A = this chain, B = another copy of it.
C-alpha cells in the first residue's frame, strides 16, 4: 500500500533517491501547441479567443462580451450561497486578509552625510490576471489565496479567467472572487486565456502579471509569455511530509497523508517517525481508512508510487531527512514542536503541533496555500503580498554628494573602460 523504509537499511540512500526523484520533463508537443495558440491570440485577439473557447469548452459565444462576468454577478453568487458555505467563505477570506495585511511593506529613505537621499519606493503592480482551472479543479480556496494578496497589495485591476466547460459556472468560485476583490472575470481558459491576459485584446487590456495554477497547456503558455508579463512559480504536484513522535493518533496521520494524496496521483505524502511500532500502526490505519475515501483510487496510486513511511533513528534525523526533501507542507506532529522548527530550514509552510492539520492551512488559518513545491522551498517563498508589490530605487544626489561620489565613479568606470560613464560623472564636478 505504501513503502516502508528505514534509515538503517543498507540500501536506504538509493531507495530514498528513487523516492524523491522527479520527472520534470515537459511534453514538447504540448509546448508547441500552446505556443501556437498564444501566437494566434496575439495576432487575432478576441476572435481567436472566442474560437478556441467555443471549440475546447463546447460553448457558443458570439463575442468576448458574452464571456464577461461582472462584479455584480460575483456578489450575487455570494449572496445566493447556502448559509454555511457563505459563512465559511467569509471567515476564510477575513482570516486570509488579516494575515496578508501583515505582509504589507513600506518604502523608506535614508539621508547620507552629504545630504543625498537614497531610498526604496514600494508600489502595487497596476494589473494582475488570475487563472482559475475549470471543472473539478475549480477551487474557490485557490481564488481566495491567489487574489487576496493582490487585493491587499492594492492592485487596482484584478482580472480572472476561468473556463466553464459546457457552460457551467461554479458559484463558489464566483463568490470567492467577490470576496477577494476580483474586478471582472471571463469564462475563458487554456493557453488562449493566458495569451489574452498577456497580450491584451480589444475587450481585455493586457495585465502586468499572471498567477494561478493550470494544466500543462496553461503552464506552457505561462512559460512562453514570461518576460512580457510576470508569472508566479509553475507549481509541481502537491507534497506533505509529516514528522511524528508516535504519539498522535495513527488515524489522524493516515488521514493527513491522504489529504495530499487525494489531489493527484503524482502527489507525494511521506511520514517520518522514529517509532517503528507507530509506523506499523499508521500502515494499518491507511488500510482501514482507504476504502472509506471517495477518491480512494487516486490516493492508492499516489501512496503506492510516491508515498513512504520512513523510520528514522530519532527526531533529529527525521528533521535532517525532511530538510533534504524541502517539502511544500511540513507537519511537526510532536510534543514541543518548537524544539524542532529551527532544524527545519526548507519548507513552504510548517504546521506545528498535533492540532495544526494541513487542511486548516489549506482553507482558513490565514497564511497562503500557494507554496513552493519540488524542493524549490530552498530558494522560494509562499505566494504573498510581496509578489504584487514592486520596488523602485530612489537616488537624489546633492551637489555635495556629487562632488564626493563623482571621483569614485570616475576611477571605477575607467577601470571598466567606460569613458562616457566617467565623463558624465566628471561633468558634475565644480571646476
A contact set with B: CB distance below 8 Å = 24, 84-85, 87-89, 91-92, 95, 99, 102-103, 108, 110, 112, 116-118, 120-121, 123, 125-126, 136, 139-141, 172, 208-209, 227-230, 234, 249, 251-252, 255-256, 258-259, 261-263, 293-295, 299, 337, 341, 345, 347-368, 371, 374, 376-382, 384, 386, 390-399, 401-402, 405-409, 411-413, 415-425, 427-428
Contacts and interface: CB of A to CB of B under 8 A. Distances in A.
A409 B359 contact: yes
A379 B108 contact: no
Contacts of A123: 345
A397 B365 contact: yes
Contact of A391 (B88, B99, B382, B411): B382
Copies in the complex: 2
Contacts of A350: 121, 392-395
B393 A352 contact: no
A208 B292 CA distance: 41
Contacts of A364: 405, 408-409, 412
A398 to B, nearest CB: 6
Given A110-B99, A125-B379, A393 B293 contact: no
What is the interface of chain A mostly: helix, strand, loop, or mixed?
mixed
25 contacts: A24-B227, A85-B415, A88-B411, A99-B118, A118-B365, A120-B367, A121-B350, A123-B345, A125-B378, A141-B412, A209-B379, A227-B234, A227-B376, A229-B379, A348-B393, A350-B395, A358-B424, A359-B409, A360-B405, A362-B421, A364-B412, A365-B397, A367-B395, A377-B390, A382-B393
A323 to B, nearest CB: 10
Tell me which of A359, A362, A428 has the highest count of chain B C-beta atoms within 10 A of its own C-beta: A359
A407 to B, nearest CB: 8
4 nearest CB pairs, A to B: A258-B420, A230-B379, A349-B393, A367-B393
B427 A118 contact: no
Most buried by B among A99, A118, A352, A365: A365
Contacts of A136: 417
Select the residue from A227, A341, A361 with max chain B CB neighbours within 10 A: A227
Contact of A374 (B99, B227, B249, B294): B227
A91 B391 CA distance: 25
Contact of A397 (B360, B379, B411, B423): B360
Count chain B CB atoms within 10 A of each CB in A118, A208, A209, A395 and give the residue with the most.
Answer: A395
Nearest to A209: B379
Contacts of A357: 397, 402, 406, 424-425, 427-428
Contact of A413 (B359, B394, B417, B424): B359
Nearest to A26: B227
A402 B360 CA distance: 8
A409 B348 contact: no
B378 A424 contact: no
A295 B355 contact: no
Contacts of A382: 391-393
A360 B425 contact: yes
Nearest to A412: B363
Given A412-B89, A420-B261, A393 B228 contact: no
